[in-house]
Amino acid sequence: MGNSNWDREVDVVVVGSGTGQMAAVRAADAGLTALVIEKLPALGGTTSISGGGMWIPNNYKMQEEGVEDSLEDAFEYMKHATFGQSEEALMKAYLDNCNDMVAYTRGLGIEWFIIPMGAFPDYYEAFPGASTYGRPILPMTDDPIPPGNAFAGGGVLTRALEKAGRARGVDYLTGTPVKRLELDETGAITGVLAEKDGADFRVRARKGVVMATGGFSRNPEMVMAFLRAPIYYPCPPPGDTGDGHRMGMAIGADLRNMNESWGWPVYWDPDTENPIPAYAPELGKPGSIVVNRRGRRFFDEAGPYARIIREFQHFDTDTLEYSNVPAFVIVDSIYRMNYPLAQYEPKMKLPNWVTTADTLRELAEQLGIDPEGLEQTVADFNRYAEEGKDPEWHRGDSAFDLQTGGDASRGLANPCLGPIIEPPFHGAPMWPGVLGTKGGLRINPNGQVVNVWGDVIEGLYAIGNCTGSIMGAGYPGGGATIGSGMTFSFIAANHMRGN
Ligand SMILES: Cc1cc2nc3c(=O)[nH]c(=O)nc-3n(C[C@H](O)[C@H](O)[C@H](O)COP(=O)(O)OP(=O)(O)OC[C@H]3O[C@@H](n4cnc5c(N)ncnc54)[C@H](O)[C@@H]3O)c2cc1C
């Protein structure tokens, strides 16, 4: 409880160095002293290994290019795209602040560009207010982004934030896990207890503590207890263990959306022990399908990755199993000549965890798929390819499918549909992974944490994946997670600054 034996005193303590870094920089800009405490040896968290994309409706790049958008449309869209699991006041706070946050990053030297070629339209195009071009933006970099590496932007973002922070006197502690929140007799947060060099280290936060510890995807107990279904290969770094959730729970913070995650289908490379993304830019190309063990397709392979997580969570009450896990990516050799598979470019030798066979039946038998089911599915799919129409899963009907997945250069009836006919055939298991979890501490529109009685916990803010996401149960578009983390980091700092 109350404690006056502080080892250090600052105005603002930020716990976690991903999108939380924004709060430290913004606070320091107003003359507040700020300390970022990170438990891993390196700064940056999941944010630093991400694409760094942010979903920002009516952003300055859209305005420069004359792309029509409005915050009213975006609000209408978000009301649908959060599937009833967010609050209107939180969505409004997001929309009211996200462009100010972007303008602020430009003042820090970070410029942005719209994802090229119009890939990544909003993920639910059928909802009113959806946009097909421009809301997701990526940070520009002076260093050329290595070809094929869509995930270099996150490092650009966190390094730029760190540079801006250091220039403004923000201090950083790495390898220093925060263990507990410190409270006074009224229940207000006064600081944190961390472990530094094996000893207790107490830091007073005169204005506030910003909990920015990310999600709990690397904490198997929390995953088992809270998520709707198992996840197999989470992508965040090992610090994603729900520490902020538990520190909040310990002092009575309310929770939201604890069963939700940012879904991301992956291959698992047993040699490097790394998940490899399995999503529309590859899966949506002609000549590929994804099937379950019955050999049946179960989603639109060219669609947004975010939707697939629900299909992975499907529990078959007949067979009493998660019948879509694992799924199997199946391609033929025409596909293989033209496109990467599991990020192995066409001329590269495939790894030994990709199975190759001369017939679909053999491939099915080797992978453990029902051979008749696969043969029937491929026969149906080849007919859809010829007709240019997929009546089952509508692959190739939407702007997302066509712009993110398909290949318009082949002159096919539908750029996302090509027959699977040419041996040898290749197949590999595909698993539910996550970019992070998205349930956690309940916040109000100032980013302040609210307790189970609905009252604000004074002195405590939370942002990013340790909060009940303001995106609710949906994933409105590419960059919705970093966009909301960065925006609420900005909002929390503004509240501590008094503006
Ligand atoms: C490959 C990949 C690509 C992605 N691309 C995008 C994208 O382009 N756009 C997008 O919006 N999202 C993307 N995501 C998702 C996005 O990166 C995350 O949802 C987001 O970065 C989470 O931000 P955060 O600040 O909440 O957590 P993090 O960035 O993970 O930061 C949390 C930090 O807190 C630290 N921490 C935890 N506990 C403690 C403790 N007790 N004490 C001190 N520190 C602690 C952690 O070690 C970590 O460094 C991607 C994810 C992956 C894996």
Per domain, the residue ranges of the chain are 8-260+438-497, 273-434
Query: Is the CB–ligand 1 distance for residue 177 below 6 Å?
Result: yes
Q: What percentage of the chain reaches a pLDDT higher than 70?
A: 97
Asked if 401 and 299 touch (Cβ cutoff 8 Å), the reply is no
Q: What is the pLDDT of residues 140-183, one digit of tens each?
A: 876 655 444 566 799 999 999 999 999 999 999 999 999 999 99
**Is any atom of ligand 1 closer than 6 Å to the C-beta of 435?**
yes
- What pLDDT score was predicted for residue 147? 43
Residue 151: its pLDDT value, please?
67
Helix (H, G, I), strand (E, B) or coil at 310: helix
CA distances 219 to 174, 228, 244, 265, Å, are: 20, 15, 12, 19
Average pLDDT over residues 122-148: 83
pLDDT at residue number 148: 44
Query: Domain 273-434, what fold?
Result: Flavocytochrome C3; Chain A, domain 1 (3.90.700)
- Cα(479)–Cα(134) distance, integer angstroms: 11
38 lines ligand 1 (CB under 6 A): yes
Q: Which of 435, 467, 469, 484 for a ligand 1 pocket mutation test, highest count of atoms within 8 Å of Cβ?
A: 435
State how far the Cα of 447 lies from the Cα of 459, in Å rounded to an integer. Answer: 11
CA dihedral of residues 169, 100, 81, 275 (deg, nearest 10)? -30
- Span 296-319, average pLDDT: 93
Q: What is the average per-residue pLDDT within 429-439?
A: 96
> How many other CB atoms are there within 10 angstroms of residue 307's CB atom?
16
Give the residue among 79, 164, 93, 169 at the shortest CA–CA distance from 124. Answer: 79
Distance 291 CA to ligand 1 centre (A): 31
Task: Characterize the bridge pairing of strands 321-322 and 315-316.
Answer: antiparallel
Phi first, then psi, for residue 424 (nearest 5°) are -75, 160
- Indicate if ligand 1 lies below 6 Å from the C-beta of 263: no
Residue 2 pLDDT > 60: no
Q: Which protein residue's CA is at the shortest distance from atom 27 of ligand 1?
A: 214
What residues have CB less than 8 Å from 107, skipping those under 6 apart?
none
If you take atom 11 of ligand 1, which residue's CA is the nearest one? 479
pLDDT at 417: 98
Cβ–ligand 1 distance for 339 under 6 Å, the answer: no
**Among protein residues, the one whose CA lies closest to atom 48 of ligand 1:** 45
Rounded to an integer, the average pLDDT of 341-366 is 97
Name the pTM for this structure.
Answer: 0.96
Ligand 1 pocket test target in 13, 46, 156, 246 with most atoms within 8 Å of CB:
46
Other CB atoms closer than 10 Å to residue 99's CB: what's the count?
A: 17
Is 213's C-beta closer than 6 angstroms to any atom of ligand 1? yes
- Provide the pairing of β-strand 199-211 with 8-15: parallel
Model confidence at 119, in pLDDT bands (50, 70, 90)? confident
DSSP 428: E
- The answer to whether 60 touches 113, Cβ cutoff 8 Å, is no
Q: What are phi and psi of 369, to 5 degrees?
A: -105, 150
45 CA to centre of ligand 1 in angstroms: 5
Ligand 1, atom 24: closest residue by C-alpha? 214
Helical spans, DSSP H, in 345-439:
360-367, 371-387, 399-400
User: What is the reported pLDDT for 116?
Assistant: 73
- E-assigned strands of 292-401? 315-316, 321-322, 327-331, 355-357
Report DSSP state, residue 351: P
Residue type, position 498, single letter: G
Q: What is the pLDDT of residue 149?
A: 53
Q: Is the distance from the beta carbon of residue 303 to the nearest atom of ligand 1 less than 6 Å?
A: no
Q: How many CB atoms lie within 10 A of CB 199?
A: 8
In angstroms, what is the span from residue 367 Cα to ligand 1's centroid? 34
In 3D space, the residue among 376, 340, 336, 373 whose CA is nearest the CA of residue 357 turns out to be 336
In one-letter notation, the amino acid at residue 426 is H
Mean pLDDT, to the nearest integer, of 19-43? Answer: 98
- Nearest-angstrom CA–CA distance, 138 and 112: 5
Average pLDDT in the chain = 95
Q: Does the CB atom of residue 477 touch ligand 1 within 6 A?
A: no
- DSSP character at residue 144: P
More confident residue, 311 or 150: 311
468-480 mean pLDDT:
97
**Rounded average pLDDT over 61-89:** 97
Residue whose structure tokens are 């996840």: 231
- How much is the average pLDDT of 22-34? 98
Q: Tell me, what DSSP letter sits at residue 66?
A: T
196 CB near ligand 1 (under 6 Å) = no
- What does the block give as tokens for 310? 């629900």
164: helix, strand or coil: helix
The second-level CATH assignment, the architecture, of 8-260+438-497 is 3-Layer(bba) Sandwich (3.50)
Compute the distance from residue 154 Cα to the ligand 1 centre, in Å.
10
CB 231 within 8 A of CB 262: no
d(Cα 301, Cα 296) in Å, to the nearest integer?
A: 12
What pLDDT is recorded for position 307? 86
